[in-house]
Amino acid sequence: MSKSLSVTFRVPAELSEAFTDAVSAAGGDKTAWLVDAIRQKMSLPETNPNARLMSLVERMEVAAAALIIGKQGVPGLSYDEQEVIRIIAETINQGFDNGRIIAERLNDAGYQTKAGKAWTKDIYSAWKRQADHKAKVDAAMLRN
């Protein structure tokens, strides 16, 4: 068991009242509230079993949602070359010939890459250089 030490320090008057109000609102004692605030500020693990359990439950909920919907941060629709080309051509025709913006639009539309990942500017740049993708985008731009 770790031993505790007594620490004394001064607090400005305007913080003293806010501190007392916050402790009252939390329903605990000043020492527990202050120790919790210090742990949080220093990114130290929570020692309160209930708080640790809630943190674990929250992480599990995020993981479960990712399993239901798909990988976290990855769009839900599989790669569809015709739709990807249409979205890219449409974006460029709107004056946004920027890899980052195009990747964002593809992700917002819900389309994954061929590898099942979210689009990035680098993935888009590599995609554009493959096969005849650039020619297909150019052709789609002429149709719009």
Mean pLDDT across 60-79? 71
Mean pLDDT across 110-115? 88
Q: Do 61 and 18 reside in the same domain of the chain?
A: yes
Q: What is the pLDDT of residues 121-144, one digit of tens each?
A: 999 999 999 888 989 998 988 886
Mean pLDDT value across the chain: 83
Handedness of CA 43, 46, 50, 54 (dihedral sign): positive
Q: Between these two residues, 7 and 100, which has the higher pLDDT value?
A: 100
| pLDDT over 50 (residue 41) | yes
Q: Alpha helix locations (H) across 1-144?
A: 13-26, 30-41, 49-69, 81-93, 99-109, 121-129, 133-143
Secondary structure of residue 8 in the 3-state scheme: coil
Greatest alpha-carbon pair distance for the chain in Å reads 76
| pLDDT over 70 (residue 68) | no
* Inside any domain, residue 122: yes
Mean pLDDT across 102-108? 91
* Inside any domain, residue 92: yes
Mean pLDDT across 92-97? 90
Q: Do 96 and 130 reside in the same domain of the chain?
A: yes
* Inside any domain, residue 3: no
| The predicted structure's pLDDT at residue 66 | 63
| pLDDT over 80 (residue 99) | yes
* Inside any domain, residue 8: no
**What is the distance, to the nearest Å, from the Cα of residue 107 to the centroid of all Cα atoms in its chain?**
14
Q: Do 89 and 65 reside in the same domain of the chain?
A: no
Q: Do 60 and 100 reside in the same domain of the chain?
A: no
Domain range for 118 is 81-143
Mean pLDDT across 52-59? 80
Q: Between 133-143 and 81-93, two packed helices, what is the crossing angle to 10 degrees?
A: 60
Q: Provide the number of structural domains found in the chain.
A: 2
Q: Do 128 and 102 reside in the same domain of the chain?
A: yes
